Amino acid sequence: MLLLLLMQAAQTTPTPPPTSYVQPWVGALAAWVALGFLGLIGVAILYYVFTGKINLSGLISEPTGDASMSRFQLLVFTFVIAASLFLIIASSTPSPQFPKDIPSGILMLLGISASSYLVSKGIQQTSPEGRAGRGPEVKIAAEKNLTTFGGDTIQFGAEVFGIEDKTVLWTILDPPGFGTIDADGLYTPPASGQPDTIVIKAASKEKLNVSDTESIRVEQAG
């Protein structure tokens, strides 16, 4: 945009008033320096984008990893309006001219697009699923953290975010075989033994590396 303004200024720069202390060549030099500087920035940006140092892979992605429709439409309208504005300026006859005014319809179009994006993000932040920006995740919870040998069972639950299959696999991680846990996450302590802290693990069946653990304590009865 600054370049477009510079281009416009170069076309319409009036003769400095007699009282000006700035020589005309200073203004021209400043414009050329600005043009060169902005050109270098443009080249650097394109170079970094091309080489992947500016990573565009998540340009329209949500924190969950899914592509976002609200980001996509904002990208489309931003590009279309920017390209249109440039095309109008560059194609103006007899010389490039910045439009005298921007139609209110364009401003409303951009307003709708950007507002929709903001409201969409607001809805997302209101929901736990929308805030699950840590990628695929399993969250485990126990109904209580203490039981006794031969005592009450403990029901574990697991929530799965960002993965289609919500099934989890339950295992007793440490110490292995210290009691049993079934496919529904119901832990049954052993009948006897030494008091210990048990680590239970729930792993996504679809992505076994996505898991969470929870510790409980098994004490002697009485």
Partner 1 sequence: MSFAEIATLEVSLFLGVLAAIIGYRLLTGQINMNYLLYGIQKGGARYFSPERVQLLLFTLGTAMFYLNDVMQHRTSGVLPDVSTETLALLGGSHALYLSGKAYMMLFKKPG
- 81 contacts: CB under 8 Å, gap ≥ 6: 106, 109, 110
Least CB distance from residue 146 to partner 1, whole Å? 30
Place of tokens 């109008």: 88
Q: Residues 106 to 135: which contact partner 1 by CB under 8 A? A: 106, 108-109, 112-113, 115-116, 119-120, 123-124, 126-127, 129-130, 132
Closest contact distance (angstroms) between CB of 87 and partner 1 is: 5
Q: Which of residues 148-187 bind partner 1 (CB under 8 A)?
A: 159-162, 164, 166
Sheet holding 168-174, edge to edge: 146-148, 211-219, 196-204, 168-174
59 binds partner 1 (CB under 8 A): yes
- Taking CB under 8 A as the criterion, the residue among 26, 49, 141, 208 binding partner 1 is 49
Nearer to partner 1, 114 or 199 (CB): 114
β-pair type (146-148, 211-219): parallel
Cα 171 to Cα 201: distance, rounded to the nearest angstrom: 5
Region from 98-106, 148-156, 199-207, 209-217 binding partner 1, contact rule CB under 8 A: 98-106
DSSP 16: P
